[in-house]
Amino acid sequence: MMKTIELQKQKIYCGNLMLVNAKYPLKTDDASNLIPADMRFPDILMKRDAANVLQLIIEKLSAEKSIIPVSGYRTLREQTDIYFTSLKDNGEDFTQKYVALPDHSEHQTGLAIDLGLNKKEIDFIRPDFPYDGICNEFRKTAPNYGFIERYKKDKEEITGISHEPWHFRYVGYPHSKIMTERGLSLEEYTEFIKAYRDDCRFVYRQSLDARVEIYYIPANKEITFISMPDNCVYQTSGNNIDGFIITVWRKNDD
């Protein structure tokens, strides 16, 4: 049996896979469903799913004393203040490299987190998160649960942001794993998935018994209709540009 799913065009600006950068600004300021990324820091917030997964990773690595959140969700006003304060204190060149323009920051989505090695003094803009020890264990483990290191050194021309070892973005699994295995930034992954449609889906083999099917649907109309089997688990996300990325979990005998 099949069911019909309705996707409103405005929903292309929502979801775990929304691309927010200098070219594609945030179109909705959704401050709902936010919780502390770490209960010890009640003012540093993330979307609930992202915060829960972050805590799962931290607990798995027993990293509670070693890794702390530095900056999570920001309002437009907070991002504006950070941007112009950095211009004043650090200059234009530094700010363009490390601070996104207001409404162009992932921090306004509630899906991004800056993490730091727990030490006496922590730089708010560029916290220390080295490529060794517990920080690198986090970095290697994160894609298995839905997080990616967002701004890598070899992707600076694509992302428009300088290398930020401390900035992690929740995109959800298995997208995080696919991006990491293929060495794709979120910008590149967004384009990569556009090649796959309902009749030609990208298939990720999750296990011997299960697979994940991923495809793109353009939002050409005010309402987009998709058909979905009654008994499957699925997720939809806007890409913040022009359509939706559909993720379907299936058993191999379906």
Predicted confidence at residue 234, as pLDDT, reads 96
pLDDT in tens, 81-111: 999 999 999 999 999 999 999 999 999 999 9
Domain 1-17+184-254 has CATH 3.30.200.180: yes
**Marked catalytic residue, from 164, 188, 213, 222:** 164
The architecture that CATH gives domain 25-170 is: 2-Layer Sandwich (3.30)
**69 in the Ramachandran plot: left (φ > 0), alpha (ψ -120 to 50) or beta?**
beta
Predicted confidence at residue 129, as pLDDT, reads 98
What phi, psi does 65 have (nearest 5°)? Answer: -90, -15
Taking the whole predicted model, whether its pTM rises above 0.75 is answered as yes
Predicted confidence at residue 209, as pLDDT, reads 86
Listing DSSP states for 61-88 in one string gives TT-TTTEEEEE----HHHHHHHHHHHHH
Contact 72, 37 (CB under 8 A): yes
In angstroms, the CA 207 to CA 205 distance is 6
Please give, one letter per residue, the 3-state secondary structure of 204-252: EECCCCEEEEEEEEECCCCEEEEEEECCCEEEEEECCCCEEEEEEEEEC
Predicted confidence at residue 252, as pLDDT, reads 81
Predicted confidence at residue 139, as pLDDT, reads 98
| Residue 106 annotated among the catalytic residues of the structure | no
Give the residues of the chain that fall short of pLDDT 70: none
* Domain boundaries, given as residue ranges, for the chain: 1-17+184-254, 25-170
Contact 16, 242 (CB under 8 A): no
Predicted confidence at residue 31, as pLDDT, reads 87
